Structure 1
Amino acid sequence: MTTSYTFRSELWLYPGEAGWHFITLPLDVADEIRETTALLRKGFGSVRVTAGVGGHEWQTSLFPDAKSGSYLLPVKKTVRTAARLSTGDKVEVRLTVEGDT
C-alpha cells in the first residue's frame, strides 16, 4: 500500500546565505508520517518521498524539524522556477512516501 498526502502550506526561505526554500508539513500529516515510517527512516530521521507542486514532481527527503515538531520539505530552485513559486506563496503539495508497502 502506498501512502499519499495532500495539503497546503507556505513556502519559506531559510535564513542564511544558502538560500534553501522549505515547506513545513502540517502537524497532523507529520504525525501520521512519523507513525507509519518508523522502519523506513534514514539518517537523521529523514523520510524518502516523491513530492509534487504546481504540476512538477521530484524525489527528495523530508527532514525532521525540532523547532516546529514537524517535517521540512526542501523545494529546489528548478521546481520553484518551473512552478513559478516565490517565498510566501501558499502551495498545494502532494507527497508519496517511498518504500511504503
Structure 2
Amino acid sequence: MKWVFEGEIFEWRGPAPYYFVAMSEVDSAELKEEARSLIYWGQVPVRVVIGETEFRTALFPKDGRYLVPLKDAVRAAEDLSEGDVVAVTLRPAERQA
C-alpha cells in the first residue's frame, strides 16, 4: 500500500533543528493500521519519494499524525526550504537490522 499527499515543510526546534512534513490524521490512522507489525517505539519505517529523491526513514507520531523527517541531504537535493509545499509518496518498509 502507498500514500500520496502534499504537505508544508515545517521546522521543529529540539536539541537541533529538524524539518518535517505531516501526514493528515486520516492517512496517519490508516498507515498505523496497515503497518501495525512494523511499528517500533511508535515509529514506522518507510520508503519515501519526494521529487526525484527516494530515501528510507522512520515516521514519528505527534498529536495523532505521523511526521516525515526531511534530512538535510534530501532538502538540498530537491532545493527545499521551510514553508515549501511538497508532494510525498511513501510506503511501509521492512525494518533494517
TM-score > 0.5, shorter chain as reference: yes
Residue 47 (structure 1) aligned with residue 52 (structure 2) = no
User: What's 1:95 paired with?
Assistant: 90
Three-state SS of the structure 2 residue aligned to 1:32 is helix
Displacement of 1:55 in angstroms is 1.1
Q: Report runs of 4+ in structure 1 exceeding 3 Å deviation.
A: none
Displacement of 1:82 in angstroms is 0.6
Displacement of 1:39 in angstroms is 1.6
Percent identical residues: 34
User: What's 1:8 paired with?
Assistant: 6
Contiguous gaps of at least 5 residues in structure 1: none
Displacement of 1:22 in angstroms is 0.6
How many residues are matched? 94
CA RMSD of aligned residues (A): 1.1
The residue identity in structure 1 corresponding to 2:85 is K
More strand by percentage = 2
How high is the TM-score relative to the length of structure 2? 0.90
Three-state SS of the structure 2 residue aligned to 1:45 is coil
Contiguous gaps of at least 5 residues in structure 2: none
Q: Deviations for 1:35-90, whole angstroms, at most 9, x for unmatched residues?
A: 11222111x2111100111110100001111xx31011100000001101000001
Please give the alpha-carbon distance, in whole angstroms, between the structure 1 residues aligned to 2:8 and 2:25.
14
Instruction: Name which of 35, 55, 61 aligns with 1:58.
Output: 55
